[in-house]
Amino acid sequence: MSANTAMLNAETIRMETLTKKRPIPKEKRISSADTDKKQRKRTAERIGAIEAKAFREVKRVPGISVFAVIGTLIISVLMVFVVLAQVNYNEAASEAVRLSTQLRELSEKHRTLELAFETSIDIKEIERIARDELGMSRPDAAQIIIVNAVPRDTAMVITEESDDSTQGFIDFLKSLTNYFRKQEN
């Protein structure tokens, strides 16, 4: 600002010297108070123009905040984790579909093999082999003994205490899952 003011002061001095060299006619002469006011006004206008020009010429370089950089990095890392989690989820889902298809195929094959096994047993053929080849015979009436056993209530006393208290709960969950698996088949 002081350089601008000095430059304006130099120009004001130069203008004063130019006006002194030329004689001004009496009609056009203005009092020194009016001249001072006009010069101050022109000087203020010039200073304003110079300041405006100086203000326009100053280019501001935007700064980068450290927090903005750190925040951007954290968001980028989190986005990468989200994408990786989505990829893992998709792989697990496709693996589950593949395994359920395989389970369905194996269950169907198991039913087919069970049916083939049950139809392959011929009771008449087994009786023929037992009689003819092994020399077995049907029991006589004297050989058959009928036993009437009344079922008795029994109880088991377990003296061992389990150190792991969750083992009973785990066994209970396993029995439930086995029960429901039997119900599905």
Residue 130 has pLDDT above 60, yes or no: yes
Number of domains forming the structure of the chain: 2
Q: What is the pLDDT of residues 84-110, one digit of tens each?
A: 999 999 999 999 999 999 999 999 999
CA atoms within 13 A of residue 48's CA, in its CB half-sphere: 6
Residues 41 and 89 in one domain: no
Predicted confidence (pLDDT) per residue in 6-46, tens digit = 555 666 666 665 555 555 555 555 555 566 777 777 777 77
Residue 27 domain flag: yes
Same-domain status, 36 and 86: no
- Do 86 and 132 lie in a common domain? yes
Where in the sequence is the domain holding 51, given as residue range(s)? 2-57
* Both structure tokens of 105: 């195929």
Say if residue 127 is in the same domain as residue 87.
Answer: yes
Residue 77 and residue 99 in one domain: yes
**Mind listing the pLDDT tens digit for each residue in 60-82?**
667 788 899 999 999 999 999 99
| Residue 111, Cβ density class (10 Å: 0-12 exposed, 13-18 middle, ≥19 buried) | exposed
Would 101 be classed as within a structural domain? yes
Residue 185 above 80 pLDDT?
no
pLDDT at 85: 93
Q: Are residues 49 and 7 in the same domain?
A: yes
Model-wide pTM > 0.85: no
State whether 75 and 131 are in the same domain.
yes
Shared domain for 77 and 135, answered yes or no, is: yes
The verdict on residue 85 lying in a domain is yes
165-to-168, 171, 173 alpha-carbon distances in Å: 6, 11, 14
Answer yes or no: do 45 and 83 share one domain.
no
* Average pLDDT rounded to a whole number, residues 115-122: 84
Residue 130 and residue 99 share a domain:
yes
